[in-house]
Amino acid sequence: MSHELSYQDSISRLLSLVDHERGTPITDTASNPDGLGPGGGASRGPRQKTIFNLKRIEVLLAKLGNPHRSVPVIHVAGTKGKGSTAAFCDSVLHNVGYRTGFYSSPHLHSFRERIRINSQPVSQGQFASLVENVWPHHLDVSANLGLGPVTLFEFMTAMGFQSFGGANTLVRRTGFQNVDFQVIEVGLGGRLDATNVVDPAVCVITAISLDHTAILGDTLGQIAFEKAGIIKPGSTVVIAPQEPEAASAIDEVCQRLNARVIQVGRDVTWELIAADSQGQEFIVRGRLGDYRSTTPLLGTHQLINGATAVAALEVLREQGHDIPDAAIAQGFANVSWPCRMEVLADSPTIMADGAHNVSSMETLLDSLPRYMGQRRLILIAGFSRDKSIKDMVRCIGTHDPVVFATASRHPRSLAAEDVAGLFVRQGMSAVSCASPADALRAAMEAANDDDLVLATGSLFVAAEVREAVLGIDPEVYPDLLASDSSRFGATG
């Protein structure tokens, strides 16, 4: 088999795969890991009616030599903070000197961001080689085993595991080496997520709130049960502070599976020392020591995420892995996790944050005065149609912003005019702008040097504003499903 597949052709192949949530939801479905960064494609229907078990991803990985079993795993689930917590863990392990693999979703600007080695996205050539390596096995699973077509997220999960732990497996390799640790972020839920095939060194469950309700359940208890599906019998579980209903559901699973629990907020605590728009300094008081660190990530919630990461890293220490205190401090200082209260420019300050549910929006708005002071708020707002938009708009309204309403390229985006109408119905004035870049230009014209221009409401809106400010050339995905699926042999 030739390994001359181009990066663009590899993306085209991916976009020919079944992707349940990328298009307009058939029911009140929510964004899932198959949801792309800015761009889009077609929907194949509600995910919960298609994913019954993990058999398909298990068979696909078996054909690849089960690379996911080769390397220790930190497995991170949750509604809020899972990506940041995973990024903290990855950064620390990389700063120790370990070779690290980090799998996350969705991406902001490029598919390559989802698979990182040593904290850096794989190259275009590496990405294309992974697609080519996994492709024939996906065709076999999709066509011949009666399990249905492999989804985009399942395929990419296999790519991630193959890049991290497949150096000694049966499939042909193209220059990859085994990593020392894998940090794996759950895509959606946990119990039936394609990543839930690992036997983790430590499980992590970050804060749970109402999101993806059509898929995971409409109560905190139901959602927590799905997240707790990553807990394995006898495993060690780090649990971030939770609402009582979620905590109760997780505790029930832990007791049933005889899992060891480390509770952040009780066993591991944190204390803020200083904070401003450039970052924050804090102490995490762990079970094995105290760790004084700085981080560029803003928000009180990042202190909790940092403490949660320390709790997980201490478990690895107990298992015999060398993780010096200095590496924790260095890893926290060097961590990068864009579009989470990320300051992109000054005078006026431009910030991008991917808050996309009520709880995240409340956390963002409550955090702003501590880090940014009291400023006039100029908002670039856009939302996905399947979110609790009216509640987010009501939350924003208490801060009396100047609003520029917009829509990202993502096909699930609510039209800019409709976004503006929601603000107007809440008694606010709002200007409709065709794109986040247009909204940014209008916001900058309206802003004074000491104002705060905040892009939020959707990770995809935040990403497009980030592209406009920093001059990033994004990947824009045409809808290849209808025209090109036969060319790439897709069976879905």
Report, in angstroms and rounded to the nearest whole number, the Rg of the chain calculated over CA atoms. Answer: 22
pLDDT at residue 174 in the model: 58
Average pLDDT over residues 396-417: 92
Average pLDDT over residues 338-347: 96
When pLDDT is cut at 50, 70 and 90, the band that residue 457 belongs to is very high
Average pLDDT over residues 267-292: 97
pLDDT at residue 345 in the model: 96
- Taking the CA atoms of 257, 268, 103 and 180 in sequence, report the sign of the dihedral they define: negative
Closest CA relative to residue 139, chosen from 193, 198, 59? 59
pLDDT at residue 181 in the model: 97
B/e letters for 402-414, b = 16+ CB within 10 Å, e = fewer, are: bbbbbbbbbbbbb
> Does residue 6 have a pLDDT over 70?
yes
HEC profile for the chain?
Answer: CCCCCCHHHHHHHHHCCECCCCCCCCCCCCCCCCCCCCCCCCCCCCHHHCCCCCHHHHHHHHHCCCHHHCCCEEEEECCECHHHHHHHHHHHHHHHCCCEEEECCCCCCCHHHHEEECCEECCHHHHHHHHHHHHHHHHHHHHHCCCCCCEHHHHHHHHHHHHHHCCCCCCCCCCCCCCCEEEEECCCCCCCCCCCCCCCCEEEECECCCCCHHHHCCCHHHHHHHHHHHCCCCCEEEECCCCHHHHHHHHHHHHHCCCEEEEECCCEEEEEEEEECCEEEEEEECCCCEEEEEECCCCHHHHHHHHHHHHHHHHHHHCCCCCCHHHHHHHHHHCCCCCCCEEEECCCEEEECCCCCHHHHHHHHHHHHHHHCCCCEEEEECCECCCCHHHHHHHHHCCCCEEEECCCCCCCECCHHHHHHHHHHCCCCEEECCCHHHHHHHHHHHCCCCCEEEEECCHHHHHHHHHHHHCCCCCCCCCCHHHHCCCCCCCC
pLDDT at residue 20 in the model: 54
Average pLDDT over residues 221-242: 95
When pLDDT is cut at 50, 70 and 90, the band that residue 398 belongs to is confident
Domains by residue range for the chain, with CATH: 7-334 (3.40.1190.10), 342-470 (3.90.190.20)
When pLDDT is cut at 50, 70 and 90, the band that residue 51 belongs to is low
CB 305, CB 206: distance < 8 Å: yes
Range from 50-64, 84-98, 234-248, 396-410 carrying the lowest mean pLDDT:
50-64
Look over the chain and give the mean of its residue pLDDT values, rounded to a whole number.
88
Specify the amino acid at residue 131.
Answer: V
Average pLDDT over residues 444-461: 96
Average pLDDT over residues 16-43: 45
CA atoms within 13 A on the CB side of 225: 11
Residue 466: both structure tokens together:
């980030």
- CA distance linking residue 225 with residue 218, whole number of Å: 12
When pLDDT is cut at 50, 70 and 90, the band that residue 170 belongs to is low
When pLDDT is cut at 50, 70 and 90, the band that residue 211 belongs to is low
